[in-house]
Amino acid sequence: MNTDYNGKNKFKSSNVIRSFQYAIQGITHTLMKERNMQIHVSISVIVVFVSFILKLSAIEWLFILFAIGGVFALELVNTAIERIVDLVTKEYHPLAKQAKDIAAGAAFIYSILSVIVGIIIFLPKIL
């Protein structure tokens, strides 16, 4: 049976729709307020446009889409961690800085990986 520990139906359509709405609000807020997300989206639009022009294979498209989606997802997680840390403390604390830096590092590593994937896919086609 699809119930939670309180016996409530956890798959009610209104709850699912509401959770999608909250997710879209989070994405929209991050896109509107976070410079890094705006940069990622701008670059992604260019990458998708170039991908159409170069007629990528299905496998190449998969790599490009996973690279783009992964960067977006990690940037959202990074932003969430930054917000939580800011909520917990307004004062400088070395652990708060580490938490923010580590989250940013994860997004940065995936961004670098995405650039490498792009180079591997696009460079031979351009040359």
Catalytic residue numbers? 75
Q: Is 34 annotated as a binding residue?
A: yes
The Cα–Cα gap between 1 and 10 comes to 10
- Tell me if 5 is assigned to a ligand binding site: no
**Do residues 52 and 88 make contact, with C-beta atoms less than 8 angstroms apart?**
no
Q: Residue 12 is inside which H or E element, if any?
A: none
For 28, the token pair is 């929209």
Q: Is there a binding annotation on residue 22?
A: yes
Could you tell me which of 21, 113, 34 has the C-alpha nearest to residue 77? 34
φ/ψ of 9, rounded to 5, equals -70, 115
Residue 60 known to bind ligand = no
92 is an annotated ligand-binding site residue: yes
CA separation, residue 99 to residues 22, 86, 95 (Å): 24, 11, 6
- 91 labelled ligand-binding: yes
82 is in an annotated binding site: yes
Feature table: binding site for a divalent metal cation: 34, 82
Residues annotated within a binding site for ATP: 22, 34, 82, 91-93, 100-101
**Annotated binding site, which residues?**
22, 34, 75, 82, 91-93, 100-101
